[in-house]
């Protein structure tokens, strides 16, 4: 089997334990690729949903088995827990079955760029949002993902490829677009203030590569709605891939022509 080889791979927001997890597409991606360093950028296992509504598909176990096999083959795997698997943050600094647990990381690209890597929930903004509003947002997200699941079940019945209906619905809502834009701005500003060349995160289920006045904002997306991963080529180029029946490049960043040589900033802690 011919595989695609990358220097690094970043995936997040898989949400194993959630009915809407697109585990089959992720398995296909993992089995079709190889890399030197894989970052699991949070919300890989959705402990919150499992506690609230227990669910587990056999494919979810296959994903976990494949991740362990990747680590066993010698790929360096770093797991940075997110808000849905935050219980794992207590194990930061430890290694399990060849997988390192960390609160955040600093990734040095092949072209010398210095990226901070974190899940991204620390940039949610106003943490004083009323509980009822947070709950309402969760209900709406569940409804939108349910519509996405039903819609794509019908498409499969007619032999049509996957389509991210939920993402299209959310992007038609002005408040959702504003939340995403504000989040991206906060992440980019923080990277600039702390001396990074960019920040790699997930959390908001919206993959993107954007140059914010010289600072790269990179979001690896998710495997619930859009099925995306961020990959680094061996020259430092970053590429955002959509991976279902129809595989395509959604965005790219160019490699720097010369390596950077300034002192390296230290990774910042993420509150548990």
Here the CATH number for the domain that contains residue 189 is: 3.60.21.10
- Judge whether 44 lies within some domain: yes
User: Looking at the domain assignment, is residue 160 inside a domain?
Assistant: no
> Closest Cα partner for 218 from 228, 49, 3?
228
Work out the mean pLDDT of the chain and round it to a whole number: 87
Q: Count up the domains in the chain and report the number.
A: 1
* Model-wide pTM > 0.95: no
Does residue 259 fall inside a structural domain? no
Domain annotation covers residue 258: no
- Its domain, for residue 241, covers 4-126+179-253
144 in a structural domain = no
> Does position 2 have pLDDT exceeding 50, yes or no?
yes
* pLDDT tier at 1, thresholds 50, 70, 90: low
The string of pLDDT tens digits covering residues 167-226 is 667 767 787 788 889 999 999 999 999 999 999 999 999 999 999 999 999 999 999 989
Mean of the pLDDT values across residues 145-149?
69
pLDDT band (50, 70, 90) for residue 24: very high
Q: What whole-number percentage of the chain has pLDDT above 70?
A: 83
How far apart, in whole angstroms, are the C-alpha atoms of residue 51 and residue 62?
21
Mean pLDDT of 21-48: 97
Rounded to an integer, what distance in angstroms lies between the CA atom of residue 38 and that of residue 10?
Answer: 6
Judged against a pLDDT cut of 80, whether residue 163 lies above it is answered with no
Mean of pLDDT values over 65-91: 97
Angstrom distance (rounded) from CA 4 to CA 1: 10
pLDDT given at position 147: 67
Whether residue 268 has pLDDT greater than 50: no
In a domain, 222, yes or no: yes
Q: Is residue 12 domain-resident?
A: yes
Please, are residues 246 and 161 in contact by the beta-carbon 8 Å criterion? yes
Q: Distance between the two ends of the chain, CA-based, in angstroms?
A: 41
Residues counted in the chain: 272
């Amino acid at each position: 089997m011919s595989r695609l080889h990358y220097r690094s791979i970043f995936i997040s927001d898989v949400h194993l334990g959630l009915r809407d997890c697109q585990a089959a597409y992720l398995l296909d991606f993992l089995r079709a690729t190889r890399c030197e360093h894989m970052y699991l950028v949070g919300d890989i296992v959705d402990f919150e949903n499992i506690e609230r509504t227990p669910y587990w598909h056999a494919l979810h176990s296959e994903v976990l088995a494949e991740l362990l096999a990747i680590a066993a083959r010698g790929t360096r795997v770093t797991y940075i827990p997110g808000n849905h698997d935050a219980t794992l943050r207590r194990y930061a600094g430890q290694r399990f079955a060849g997988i390192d647990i960390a609160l955040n990381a600093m990734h040095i690209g092949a072209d010398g760029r210095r990226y901070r890597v974190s899940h991204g929930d620390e940039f949610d903004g106003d943490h004083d949002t009323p509980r009822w509003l947070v709950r309402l947002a969760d209900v709406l997200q569940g409804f939108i993902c349910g519509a996405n699941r039903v819609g794509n079940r019908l498409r499969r019945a007619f032999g049509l490829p996957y389509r991210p209906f939920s993402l299209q619905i959310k992007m038609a809502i002005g408040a959702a677009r504003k939340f995403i834009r504000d989040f991206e701005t906060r992440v980019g500003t923080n990277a600039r203030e702390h001396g990074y060349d960019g920040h790699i995160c997930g959390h908001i289920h919206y993959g993107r590569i954007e140059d914010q006045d010289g600072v790269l904002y990179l979001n690896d997306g998710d495997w619930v709605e859009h099925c995306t991963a961020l990959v680094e080529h061996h020259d430092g180029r970053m590429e955002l891939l959509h991976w279902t029946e129809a595989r395509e490049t959604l965005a790219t960043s160019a490699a720097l022509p010369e390596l950077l040589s300034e002192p390296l900033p230290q990774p910042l802690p993420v509150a548990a």
